[in-house]
Amino acid sequence: MDISSVGNTTGATPSSPSGQTLTADDFMTLLIAQLRAQDPFEPMSNEEMLSQVATIQQVQTSKALDETLQSLASRQEFASASAMIGRHVRGIAMNSVGVVEEVVGTVTAIHFGSAGAVYLELDNGKLLPMESIVEVQAPASGDADGDEDTASLTGDLDGDGAVDEADLAMMVEAYTGPGGSTNNAEADLDGDGDVDADDFREFFTHWTGGAPDETEDPQPSADVTGDGTVDEADLAEMVTAYTGPDETTENAAADVDGDGDVDADDFRMVLDQWTGNADDGGA
C-alpha cells in the first residue's frame, strides 16, 4: 500500500516486517508520523484526516471479519472430520518414503496438524489427510449414523437379537477345529481363520438362551473321549453328537448332563472343565 493513500507528502511504498500485511496499528503509527512531519503552513485537511480514520476502521473491521470466518471454517472442518469417525474411507496419499499409495481403513480418530491440516487415523494405524479422501462408505457396523445400539450382537449368527440354541447349531455346523479354515466370519468370533474351542468359549460369554439345566450330579465328567483331559478332541466329539434340546441321543459320553440330549448345557460343561490350551483350543 502506498503512503500516498495515507497522506500526500510522499509516494514511497513501505514494506512491513517479514512481508506481513499492514495492520490498523501500522496505519495509526504512519498517521501520527505524518501529522508530526507535515508542513504547518499546509496541514492535512479535515477531509484527509477523516479518510485516514475511515481507512483504519476498515482495516480493523476486515481483520475481525477474517478472524471470524477462520473460526467458523475451523469449526466446520472439525465437525466434518468428527463425522468421519467409524466410517470406512479410501484415499490416495504419499507414504513416508515418498511413494503415492492407496490407503484404506476405518476412521478411529482425527488429528489437527500445523496450518489447519486435518488427518484421519485409521484402524490400521495409518494417517490419511482428509483432503486426500476419494471414497467414503457407511460405518463399518451399526446403522448409518454409527450407533452401536443397532449393531449385531456378538454370537447372534441368525440375527434374531438373541444368542441361543439356534446360534449354537450354526456354530456346530461351522466348526473346523484349530488350524482349519473358514470363510464364516460370523462364527469365527476371534477372527483367527478357524472355528474352534476359542470361538465356542467366546460364544458362551454372550449367551442369552438361559441358565443351564440343573442335574443331579453338579459336576459330571466332561471327558467325552475318556483320555483324561477335556480338550479340543472332546469338543469335536460334542460337535459330532450334537442333537439340540429337542432330540435324543444314544451317546452317553457326549450327553454330559445326562438329560438325554446334547445341547448348550453339555457344551458349557465341556468348556467349564476345559484342561486344554486356553489360547489355541488344545492344538
Which phi and psi angles does 234 have, rounded to 5°?
-70, -40
Alpha-carbon separation of residue 215 from 218, 257, 258 (angstroms): 6, 6, 8
Domain residues of the chain, as ranges? 3-79, 83-144, 165-272
Which residues are CB-neighbours of 14 under 8 A, at least 6 positions away?
Answer: 1, 3, 22, 30
pLDDT one-digit tens code per residue, 21-73: 556 677 677 777 777 777 677 776 667 767 777 777 777 777 777 777 676 66
- Record the pTM: 0.47
Q: At what angle do helices 165-174 and 197-205 cross, to 10 degrees?
A: 170
Q: pLDDT tier at 161 (50, 70, 90 boundaries)?
A: confident
Beta bridge partners of 94: 100
The number of CA neighbours under 13 Å toward the Cβ of 263 is 18
For the CA atoms of 85, 91, 94, 99, the dihedral, rounded to the nearest 10 degrees, stands at 140
Q: Does domain 83-144 have CATH number 1.10.3470?
A: no
Beta bridge partners of 212: none
pLDDT one-digit tens code per residue, 241-271: 999 999 999 999 999 999 999 999 999 999 9
| Confidence check: pLDDT of 235 > 60 | yes
- Each as own residue / partner, the long-range contacts of residues 238-246 (CB below 8 Å, 24 or more positions apart, any chain) are 238/262, 238/266, 238/267, 238/270, 239/172, 239/175, 242/168, 242/169, 242/172, 244/165, 244/169, 245/165
Phi-psi region of 29 (alpha: psi -120 to 50; beta: other; left: phi over 0): alpha
- Minimum mean pLDDT range among 93-97, 206-210, 220-224: 93-97
Look at residues 86, 128, 78 and name the one whose alpha carbon lies nearest to residue 103: 128
For residues 155 and 134, the answer to whether their CB atoms sit within 8 Å is no
Interatomic CA distance for residues 153 and 168, integer angstroms: 14
Question: For residue 226, how many other CB atoms are within 10 A of its CB?
Answer: 10
Which phi and psi angles does 196 have, rounded to 5°?
-140, -160
Q: Of 100 and 166, which is predicted with more confidence?
A: 166
Q: Of 98 and 106, which is predicted with more confidence?
A: 106
* Residue 157 burial class via C-beta count within 10 angstroms: exposed 0-12, middle 13-18, buried 19 and up: buried
Quickly list DSSP for 33-94: HHHHHS-TTSPPPHHHHHHHHHHHHHHHHHHHHHHHHHHHHHHHHHHHHHTTTTEEEEEEEE
Q: pLDDT tier at 5 (50, 70, 90 boundaries)?
A: very low
| Confidence check: pLDDT of 133 > 50 | yes
**Range with the largest mean pLDDT of 6-15, 39-48, 176-185:** 176-185
Look at residues 126, 117, 210 and name the one whose alpha carbon lies nearest to residue 162: 210
